[in-house]
Amino acid sequence: MAGPLIVLDPIFKIYKTKYMAILTFETLSFQQIGDVLKITLLKLYTTEILCSEMDRISPWKLIDAHTIEFTKIDQEKAEIKFSHMFSKALDSLKTSLTGNKATYLHRNSGIPLFGNVAFGIVYRESSIIEIKPMNGCNLDCVYCSISEGLSSRKNDFVVEKDYMVSELFTLLEFVGEPVEIHIGVQGEPFLYGDIEGLITDLQAHPMIHTISIDTNGTMLSKAMIDRLALCTKLQLNLSLDAIDPDIAKKMAGITNYNIKHVLEVISYASARLNVIVAPVMVKKYNEAEMEKVIAWIAGLEVQPKLGIQNFLRYKTGRNPAQEIPWDKFYKLIEGWETKYKIKLRWSKDDFKIRETKKLPKPFKKADVVNAIVKSVDRFPGGVIAVAQGRTISIPDVEFRRDMPIKVKIARDKHNIFVGSKV
Ligand code: SF4
C-alpha cells in the first residue's frame, strides 16, 4: 500500500450498471494533456498521473473537469484504486504560481495541525486563534516579513478544509470561551480554493465572535464581497501601501499590480463589512505615500479603520531598508492624527485580546523525543516529524518518509516545536 488512503470529498454518483464507476470530486479538477492526466487540487496545487497508469485501473474517460468515468470496474474498487494512485501523485504536488513543492494535509495524512507556525492552527493561549490553511502568494512585496510570493522557493502546505475545521472546533471545546479566529496565512488567503466554505463554517460556530483575515485584496471582486458580507462576523484586514500606481507596484514587487482595483475593493468592502486598512511604512520607499493614503481613506463615504504599521526587519524576511526609529514613527502618527482628525493608533485593548486556557505540551524544551518524519519542512533542507499529536521542525535532515528520528526539542513556546536530530 503506497501511503495512507486519502479521503477525498467524493460525491460519488453510482451507476446502476455493475461494472462501471463514476468519481466526482469537488476539490479536484482534471485535464488530459497528451499522455498525462493533470490534477488540480483546490485550484492552486497541481500534480499528474500518467494516462497509462490510469488505464491499469480500467478503461476511463473524463466526463467533465471534476468527473472521471471508469468502465469494466465496480464503484468501490475504482474509488480505492484511484485513491491509492492519487496518494502517490501527491508526492509530486506543486504550487502552480511558483512551481514550489507542496504538501497536502488531510485527515488521513498523519500530519497534525499543531506544532508549526506556518500551517495549521497556532494557539498562543489568547482569545485570538490563528489558522493557516495554505501558503503561497500572488505578490512579491519588497518588505514581506516571511519572504513569501512569486520569488519564494520555500515548500508550501495546504490543509483540507474539513480537517482544519474539525481540529479547530475540538480546540474551541477545550478553550471554552468566545474567541476570534484569525486567518493569517503566510501568503494570500483568497488563493485558497475553499476559503468561502471555511469562512461559512466558522461563521456558524457559536463560540466564534470574529473572523479576521489578512488579504492583499487583489483576488477580491464586488460579487465576492457581496457574498462575504453575509458573514456578519467577518473583518477584512487589507493592505494598501501607496496610492501612486508606480510606487504601489514597487511595494507589491510585481509590475502588473493594479492599485485601482485594490482601491475599489477597499471602498466597496468598507461600505459592507468591517474593514481595517493596514499599510506598512518603509523608509525611503513609501513614507511620502502615507499622507495620501490617510487623505484617501478620510475621503471615503464609509471609512474603514486605518492602522499604519512600521516596517520591521526579520531574519527570514525581505529587508530592503532600515527601520524607522519608534520615537520618530509615533511622532509622525500623532501629527497625522491631529492633522486629519483620524485615529491611527490601535492597541491590544481595542481588539479585546484576553489570555485563555493553556494547552498542554506533550514535550518540552531539552526533551529527547522519538518521532516519525512525515514531510519536507517549509524551508528546504529540513523535515517535519510527528510525535504525540504535534509536528516538529527539524533543519538539516534529508527527507525520507516514515523514517524514525530522535529529536532534541530546542523550542516549545505556544506548542510550536523546533528540534535537532540527536
Ligand atoms: S501580500 Fe503579504 S504574503 Fe504576499 S508578498 Fe505581500 S506581504 Fe508577503
- Say yes or no: 193 and 163 in one domain: yes
User: The CATH number of the domain where 281 resides is what?
Assistant: 3.20.20.70
Nearest to 369 by CA among 316, 405, 399, 340: 405
Rounded average pLDDT over 172-180: 97
- 10 belongs to a structural domain: no
Residues 252 and 167 in one domain: yes
* 358 lies in some domain: no
The answer as to whether 2 is a domain residue is no
Query: Is the pLDDT reported for residue 18 higher than 90?
Result: no
* Statement to judge: residues 252 and 312 lie in one domain: yes
Residues 341 and 387 placed together within one structural domain of the fold? no
Question: Are the C-beta atoms of 36 and 89 separated by less than 8 Å?
Answer: no
Q: Kindly give the distance from the C-alpha atom of residue 191 to the centroid of ligand 1, in angstroms, as a whole number.
A: 12
CB of 187 closer than 6 A to ligand 1? Answer: yes
Is 376 part of a structural domain of the chain? yes
Say which CATH number the domain at 382 has. Answer: 2.40.50.140
Domain end, chosen from 318, 351, 384, is at 351
Q: What is the pTM of this model?
A: 0.93
Tell me, yes or no, whether 310 lies in a domain: yes
H or E, element range at 248: helix 245-252
| Residue 100 covered by a domain | no
* Locus of grid cell 500500500: 1
**Same domain flag for 347 and 372:** no
Contact 188, 215 (CB under 8 A): yes
Kindly indicate the confidence band of residue 5, based on its pLDDT and cuts at 50, 70 and 90: very low
Per-residue pLDDT reduced to its tens digit, 84-129: 999 999 999 999 999 999 999 999 999 999 999 999 999 999 999 9
- Residue closest by Cα to atom 8 of ligand 1: 144
Could you tell me if 28 and 68 lie in one domain? yes
Our mutation pick for probing the ligand 1 site, out of 100, 154, 216, counting the most ligand atoms within 8 A of Cβ, is 216
Domain holding 49, by residue range, is: 20-92
What atom of ligand 1 comes closest to residue 185's alpha carbon?
3
Q: Is the pLDDT of residue 3 over 70?
A: no
User: What's the CA-to-centroid distance between 239 and ligand 1, angstroms?
Assistant: 9
Q: Whose CA is nearest to atom 7 of ligand 1?
A: 144
Residue 223's SS3 state is helix
| Whether the CB of 141 sits within 6 Å of ligand 1 | yes
37 and 147 assigned to the same domain: no
Q: Extract the C-alpha cell encoding 269.
A: 468592502
What residues contact 217, with CB distance under 8 A and at least 6 apart? 238, 239, 240, 261, 262, 265, 266
Summarised one tens digit per residue, pLDDT across range 235-285 is 999 999 999 999 999 999 999 999 999 999 999 999 999 999 999 999 999
| Residue 188 Cβ contacting ligand 1 at under 6 Å | yes
Residues 116 and 263 placed together within one structural domain of the fold: yes
Asked if residue 330 and residue 213 are part of one domain, the reply reads yes
Average the pLDDT over 70-91 and give the result.
94
Q: Is the pLDDT of residue 7 over 50?
A: no
Q: Whose CA is nearest to atom 6 of ligand 1?
A: 141
Are residues 149 and 187 located together in one domain of the fold? Answer: yes
Chosen domain end from 298, 316, 351: 351
Final residue of a domain: which of 92, 119, 144? Answer: 92
Residue 217 counted as domain residue: yes
Phi first, then psi: what are they for 264, rounded to 5°?
-65, -40
| Alpha-carbon distances of 347 from 185, 329, 344, rounded to whole Å | 22, 15, 10
Is the shortest distance between the CB of 144 and ligand 1 below 6 Å?
Answer: yes
149 Cβ closer than 6 Å to some ligand 1 atom: yes
DSSP state of 258: -
Q: pLDDT tens, 320-367?
A: 999 999 999 999 999 999 999 999 988 777 777 899 999 999 999 999
Q: 286 CB less than 6 Å from ligand 1? A: no
Structural domain total, the chain: 3
pLDDT class of 151 with cuts at 50, 70, 90: very high
Same domain, 300 and 179: yes
How many Cβ atoms are within 10 Å of 310's Cβ, its own excluded?
A: 17
In one-letter notation, the amino acid at residue 151 is: S
Q: In this structure, is residue 280 part of a structural domain?
A: yes
What's the Rg (C-alpha) of the chain?
23
Nearest to 174 by CA among 361, 355, 353, 357: 357
Based on the domain organization, do 143 and 210 belong to the same domain?
yes
